[in-house]
Structure 1
Amino acid sequence: MEYPKFTQEHKSLMAKYLTKDVFESLKDKQTENGFTILDVVNSGVQNPDSGIGAYAGDKESYTTFGEFFDPIIKEYHGFTKEDTHQTNLNPDDLQAVNPDPDNEFIVSTRIRVGRNLDKFPLGPAISDTQRKEIQTTVTDALNSLNGEFKGQYYSLDDLSDEDRDTLIKDHFLFKEGDRFLETAGLNRNWPKNRGIFHNTDKTFLVWVNEEDQLRIISMQKGGDIKEVFTRLINAIKHLEKTMAFSFSKHLGYITSCPTNLGTAMRASVHIAVPKLAEDMDRFKEITDKYHLQIRGTDGEHSKSTGGVYDISNKRRLGVTEVQCVQDMYDGVVELIKIEKSL
């Protein structure tokens, strides 16, 4: 096993922290799933423009290769190996009256979490047989849901053209992963044993075997953030009755990408702030104050359409789920206040 060749273009946290000494210390180790340090860093080695450049193959990766992962997690999350993650899934603790009851600014609200099943490897190390077993377990749980969660599962293997067109039109259908996920091993056997579930009202959605084994999503038009959060938590509670999710006291919910550790939550709104957007420095000053991220209308690396931006929480590890959503809510209240004043 040879030390990877890095160029001046390699600016990722992986390239920063995979020193020759760290590599020598870890090169002979592997997890019980056979995942090695070269597997962990392959995406970042192949893609010099990566931001992080490292993916875990299983829960064990974070301890077996802790000498490498710990400083990355510390720099990205401000979270040390001595810290303990706290979780709070109680919607009653969220202070969030609808900040836009007349729907003047908030187009839609969407909150999602990533989850992976305990006792299984993560996506980069999983076999197709294991992925099939996960799909069966998850779809059995989803098909047993009733009330507002009752819906239908669509397997990517056998989607009809009509269903595919409908899911694309609703912005539900996830595509094959990009080159970063490809080189992390997450696109293997595409599209086998992957799919999408949504309820009748299209306010509750689950992606199965995308980057994480489950992406659980609550969404709706308008700005009732608390209602969206409450639906998500209720769905998680239902699913936890039949499935155990991978979790550690130190890192919270375990995900393949270290940026999602902790709550694995992204709480976001699409919000129209065309006047404020003319002064991006001020816009960014507000979002930075509330630990928020600005994206274009269609997400990361996209541009805004009609002054509409995707605003979401930046912090995930070392803060609770309620804090993640509260950050987003408080920031949105401030953005609306400033937009009204301009």
Structure 2
Amino acid sequence: MISRKFFERALTDWMKGDGPESDIVISSRVRIARNMSGYPFPMLATKSQSQEVLEKVGQVLQADGLAEWGSFEFLTLNNLNDLEKKVLVEKHLISPNLANESQNGAVLLNESESVSIMVNEEDHLRIQVLCSGFQIREAWSIANRVDDIFENQLEYAFDEKRGFLTSCPTNVGTGIRASVMIHLPALVMTQQINRILQAITQVGLAVRGIYGEGSEAVGNLFQISNQITLGQSEEEILDNLYGVVRQIIEHERSARQVLASESRARLQDRVCRSYGVLTHAVIMDSKEAAQRLSDVRLGADLGILKGVPQAALNELLVMTQPAFLQQLTGEKLSADDRDIRRAELIRSRLAQR
């Protein structure tokens, strides 16, 4: 029987806001792409071949070592409805690609949802680790150890010259994709963000919305990740991302200081207006909710608003998404009904502070 906690619980460990630099960096993620030797990539595999991959991966759950991260549950996508799949996407536990297009897809989730292992997505395995705050090296350490456990049980597709072989050429080599979800409201308000983002792309990094490629950056939240996987070691990839993100954090802190010292009244007015709207609005669409919550987050970080915990704001990032709202209410909602329920939920959560 599938545990309901993955669909009914919005707040997971990586959202608790207790990691380093968590006032700016929401989370750190490392994802490793791997394929099994002797099997076609998932997009070319037959149903029986995909099923064999599922069975072999499932056997690894019995291997020594995985228990370090708690018990895992094996969720096959064919046993989930569309709403449940979308909830897992909104919680960043599976990709939209796995939810929409996978044949015999599955995900292995540990209790805390810090480790998720997608099966038969674009590659046979996508090992993902999520940590709170700026902990990219810690996320890599865990992902690397989980990867070692699977590599001891499965024969990976590997080439001496090219490294790990993947479905998409941009992942060939290390197969590692490291990223941070970062909140940059002050850089946006001071109109420095475009210059910063252009500089990021010039050093081999990509900037996307919080749901990855093709998603829009809303609520001043951005996902920054490496683009290069071939020709660099894992350490070089992580060091480059770490160094750039560290600089972005300092730029954001400086911009916040400028706003707090030179435009204090305007900033306070903006924060308090957004808080007032969030605590009294009857209708709220997702874009406005993201922007208003961004203002409140900034106000809480700068001490303008007292008693608003980061964990509650991070939880609302997930709870206000369309699928989770419908899962929470237990019914399919129209866009207008979602906007009403979203406003009601935000009012209720912020009233608890």
Normalising by structure 2, we get a TM-score of 0.61
Q: Which residue of 2 aligns with 1:287?
A: 200
Hey, what does 2:238 align to over in structure 1?
325
> Is residue 153 of structure 1 aligned with residue 95 of structure 2?
no
Describe how 1:12-23 pairs up with structure 2 within 5 A. Answer: none
Asked whether 1:219 is paired with 2:130, we answer yes
Deviations 1:6-47 (A, max 9, x none): xxxxxxxxxxxxxxxxxxxxxxxxxxxxxxxxxxxxxxxxxx
Q: 1:240 to 1:149 in 2, by over 3 A?
A: farther
The 1:103–1:318 alpha-carbon spacing in structure 2 relative to 1, beyond 3 Å, is same
Identify which of 40, 63, 85 aligns with 1:121. 40
Instruction: Describe the SS at the equivalent of 1:319.
Output: coil
Deviation of 1:308 (Å): 1.1
Q: Which amino acid aligns with 1:140?
A: Q
Offset at 1:302?
2.1
More moved, 143-152 vs 113-122 = 143-152
- Measured in 1, the distance between the counterparts of 2:137 and 2:236 equals 13
Unaligned runs of 5+ in 2: 1-18, 256-353
Question: TM-score when scaled to structure 1?
Answer: 0.63
Q: Match of 2:248?
A: 335
Q: CA shift at 1:153, angstroms?
A: 0.5
Amino acid at match of 2:73: Q
Q: What secondary structure does 1:211 align onto?
A: coil
Measured in 1, the distance between the counterparts of 2:61 and 2:203 equals: 35
Q: Return the match for 1:276 from 176, 187, 198.
A: 187
Deviation at 1:177, TM superposition (A): 6.2
Gap change, CA 1:112 and 1:275, over 3 Å in 2: same
- Counterpart residue number, 2:149: 238
Structure-2 separation of matches of 1:291 and 1:169:
27
Q: Which residue of 2 aligns with 1:310?
A: 223
Q: Cα–Cα, structure 1 residues 177 and 141, in superposed 2: closer, same or farther, change >3 Å?
A: closer
Q: Deviations over 1:245-295 (max 9, x none)?
A: 111111111011111111111100000112324334421343135421111
Q: Distance in 1 between matches of 2:34 and 2:136?
A: 21
Aligned to 1:205, what secondary structure does the other structure show? Answer: strand
Closer, same or farther: CA 334–124 of 1 in aligned 2, 3 Å: same
1:67 paired residue number: none
- Over the matched positions of the two proteins, sequence identity in percent amounts to 29
How far is 1:122 from its partner? Answer: 1.5
Instruction: Give runs of aligned pairs for residues 158-307 of structure 1, distance below 5 A.
Output: 158-159=79-80, 164=85, 167-176=88-97, 187=101, 191=103, 193-277=104-188, 278-307=191-220
Q: 1:118, 1:245 within 8 Å by CA — same for their partners in 2?
A: yes
SS in 2 for 1:250: coil
Distance 1:217 1:297 in 2: 15
Count of residues in Structure 1 that have an aligned counterpart in Structure 2: 233
Give the Cα–Cα distance (whole angstroms) in 2 for the partners of residues 177 and 225 of structure 1. Answer: 24
Structure 1: give runs of 5+ residues left out of the alignment.
1-99
The more displaced of 161-170 and 133-142 is 161-170
Query: Contact 1:286–1:331 at 8 Å: present in 2 too?
Result: no
The structure in which a higher percent of residues are helix is 2
Match of 1:106 among 21, 25, 37: 25
1:244 is displaced (CA, Å) by: 1.3
Offset from partner CA, 1:54-91 (integer Å, 9 cap, x none)? xxxxxxxxxxxxxxxxxxxxxxxxxxxxxxxxxxxxxx
| 1:107 maps to amino acid | I
Amino acid at match of 1:298: Y
Task: Summarize the alignment of residues 65-104 of structure 1 with structure 2, pairs less than 5 Å apart.
Answer: 101-104=20-23
- Does 2:53 match 1:134? yes
